[in-house]
Amino acid sequence: MTDAPETTPSRRALIGWGGAGLALGAVAAGGAVAMARTGDDVEPAAAETGAAIPFHGERQAGIATPVQDRLHFAAFDVKTDDRAEFVQMLKDWTAAARRMTAGHAVGEGAYGGLAEAPPDDTGEALGLKPSRLTLTIGFGPSLFEKFDLAGQRPEALAELPHFAGDNLDKNRSGGDLCVQACADDPQVAVHAIRNLARIGFGKVVIKWSQLGFGKTSSTTPEEQTPRNLMGFKDGTRNIAGTETDRLKKFVWVGEKDGPAWMTGGSYLVARRIRMHIETWDRTSLQEQEDIIGRDKGEGAPVGKAKERDKPFLKAMKPDAHVRLAHPETNHGATILRRGYSFTDGTDGLGRLDAGLFFLAYQRDPRTGFIRIQRNLAIDSLNEYIQHVGSALFAVPPGVRDKDDWWGSTLFGKGA
Ligand code: HEM
């Protein structure tokens, strides 16, 4: 279910239409103005392909919904101390997100408006399909030091502890808020972040961002499991988007968990994990398989024949990744992984700056990521990876309808 485009043309739209007579005619024709002006001509294609993911709902899209192929993730810092101004920006972001996820241009579009003013939309996504774009917002711990929000900060949103082997770059870590843009077309994801940053000008600034390609986990087990840059199937034992019970148990914040504004939300851990690809590529197949605890071709657990066979952990080396990450080794801890591969050129020393941009959603990071990551301290994979960026966000529940907005449960409906 996607939103119909806003049909009431603003004054600026009318003037920009190229003459009062035309404008009046357009008003009579209702939505036609918005359709012609904003690049809404992509709508029929979207309807045909079903390529728009509903923006409204109890939960935000981009968590349990099918994982798209591309990512543009951005962490922002807040620059304004004016709460009303920040809340207005969240409302403006929501309006733009509603349109972009449906395949429409932002505001009054990329052309045809006042020649003297920059257009509302930057234009590079005109003519492209919605591409299953999802935009998911999260609030970082540092946001709660602003706007008198300290009392609203969830206990679960404690700063992540230092983990063995962490080599975190503060320029790639943290952030007051984040937006995860996922789409099947990279240009659609990049366009979305760019336009949100543009709307936020003067109120927020991008602290760091990450492009990702090739999902490394899926929420759709019926599809072929994707592979990460180490060449292994990744996401075999992930939570599927259809597993309502496990999502409820491990991903969604329940009513009793508190605080109330987070009910129906989740917590997102983002880790930029660099892979020492060159070293990995010189490692024997046997060793690679021992390290992961699964075989490279089929993805079957050690000693088993098929990818979906139940892992027998004791058959694996004690420091195999799957053995250490498995719920049985972590008091049941289970997370929903939604990461992407990245390659950001080379590092000046002839090595690829590549790896896994790890994204994991969970009901509580203390019993999710933190527990598992602590257990991974002795992971044999650690010789080949390094965590270089880290962030944690509280992801509020979904935007319910056209009058609702991102963050309304935290900042108050009447704000
Ligand atoms: C570059 C780093 C990493 C690589 C290459 C990697 C790779 C893999 C692979 C190939 C699997 C087996 C397939 C599957 O069940 O998905 C797997 C499983 C898993 N990984 Fe990772 N992983 C990495 C980092 C992490 C981190 C940081 C965590 C969490 C702290 C994690 C948690 C898990 C979990 C929970 C499983 C499923 C275990 C099971 O239920 O059997 N991984 N990983």
* Alpha-carbon separation of residue 174 from 13, 39, 73, 93 (angstroms): 39, 35, 12, 21
Report how far residue 325's alpha carbon sits from residue 374's, in angstroms, rounded to the nearest whole number: 10
Whether ligand 1 lies within 6 angstroms of the CB of 372 is answered as yes
Is position 390 within any domain? yes
Whether ligand 1 lies within 6 angstroms of the CB of 387 is answered as no
Evaluate whether 135 touches 189 at the Cβ level (below 8 Å).
no
* Alpha-carbon separation of residue 333 from 81, 269, 289, 363, 367 (angstroms): 38, 14, 24, 10, 6
Is position 17 within any domain? no
Predicted pLDDT of residue 199: 98
Mean pLDDT of the chain: 89
Is position 315 within any domain? yes
What is the extent of the structural domain holding 226? 55-151+166-398
Is position 74 within any domain? yes
Predicted pLDDT of residue 218: 80
Tally of structural domains, the chain:
1
Distance of CA 188 to the CA centre of its chain: 14
The position carrying tokens 């979906």 is 308
CA of 309 to the centre of ligand 1 (A): 16
Q: SS3 letters for 263-296?
A: CCCEEEEEEEEEECHHHHHCCCHHHHHHHHCECC
Predicted pLDDT of residue 216: 84
Evaluate whether 218 touches 228 at the Cβ level (below 8 Å).
no
Residue-wise pLDDT for 301-325, tens only, equals 999 999 999 999 999 999 999 999 9
Is position 325 within any domain? yes
Report how far residue 359's alpha carbon sits from residue 337's, in angstroms, rounded to the nearest whole number: 6
Is position 26 within any domain? no
Predicted pLDDT of residue 413: 53
Mutate to test the pocket of ligand 1, among 168, 313, 322 (most ligand atoms within 8 A of CB): 322
Contacts with 24 (C-beta within 8 Å, 6 or more apart), sequence order? none
- Give buried/exposed letters for 291-304 (b at 16+ CB in 10 A, else e): bbbbbbeebbbbeb
CA of 292 to the centre of ligand 1 (A): 8
Report how far residue 173's alpha carbon sits from residue 388's, in angstroms, rounded to the nearest whole number: 8
Residue-wise pLDDT for 202-247, tens only, equals 999 999 999 999 988 888 888 899 999 999 999 999 999 999 999 9
pLDDT higher than threshold 60 for residue 135: yes
Report how far residue 236's alpha carbon sits from residue 226's, in angstroms, rounded to the nearest whole number: 9
Whether ligand 1 lies within 6 angstroms of the CB of 236 is answered as yes
Is position 409 within any domain? no
Going by pLDDT thresholds of 50, 70 and 90, the confidence category of residue 32 is very low
Predicted pLDDT of residue 222: 85
pLDDT higher than threshold 70 for residue 9: no
Q: What does pTM read for this prediction? A: 0.89
Contacts with 30 (C-beta within 8 Å, 6 or more apart), sequence order? 7
The position carrying tokens 């929903």 is 336
Whether ligand 1 lies within 6 angstroms of the CB of 237 is answered as yes
Report how far residue 69's alpha carbon sits from residue 226's, in angstroms, rounded to the nearest whole number: 10
Atom of ligand 1 lying closest to residue 237 CA: 15
Residue-wise pLDDT for 275-305, tens only, equals 999 999 999 999 999 999 999 999 999 999 9
Helix (H, G, I), strand (E, B) or coil at 233: strand
Report how far residue 340's alpha carbon sits from residue 228's, in angstroms, rounded to the nearest whole number: 8
Predicted pLDDT of residue 227: 96
Q: Which whole number is the average pLDDT over 148-154?
A: 96
Whether ligand 1 lies within 6 angstroms of the CB of 274 is answered as no
Tell me, what DSSP letter sits at residue 307?
Answer: T
Q: Rg of the chain over CA atoms, in angstroms?
A: 23
Predicted pLDDT of residue 373: 98
CA of 322 to the centre of ligand 1 (A): 6
Beta bridge partners of 356: 273, 341
Tell me which residue of 410, 403, 361 sits closest to 94, measured CA to CA. 403
Q: Can you say whether residue 37 is alpha, beta or left, with left for phi > 0 and alpha for psi between -120 and 50 degrees?
A: alpha
Name which residue sits closest to atom 3 of ligand 1, judged by CA: 356
pLDDT higher than threshold 90 for residue 338: yes
Residues in the chain: 415
Element (H, E) at 325: helix 321-325
Q: Which whole number is the average pLDDT over 23-52?
A: 38
Q: Which of 34-48, 90-104, 107-121 has the lowest mean pLDDT?
A: 34-48
Beta bridge partners of 390: 271
Mutate to test the pocket of ligand 1, among 337, 356, 381, 383 (most ligand atoms within 8 A of CB): 337
Evaluate whether 206 touches 197 at the Cβ level (below 8 Å).
yes
Contacts with 175 (C-beta within 8 Å, 6 or more apart), sequence order? 75, 76, 77, 140, 142, 207, 208, 391, 393
Going by pLDDT thresholds of 50, 70 and 90, the confidence category of residue 103 is very high
Report how far residue 104's alpha carbon sits from residue 383's, in angstroms, rounded to the nearest whole number: 46
Angle of helix 83-101 versus helix 186-199 axis, rounded to 10: 160
Is position 114 within any domain? yes
Helix (H, G, I), strand (E, B) or coil at 254: coil
Going by pLDDT thresholds of 50, 70 and 90, the confidence category of residue 40 is very low
pLDDT higher than threshold 80 for residue 186: yes
* Alpha-carbon separation of residue 336 from 34, 58, 266 (angstroms): 39, 18, 10
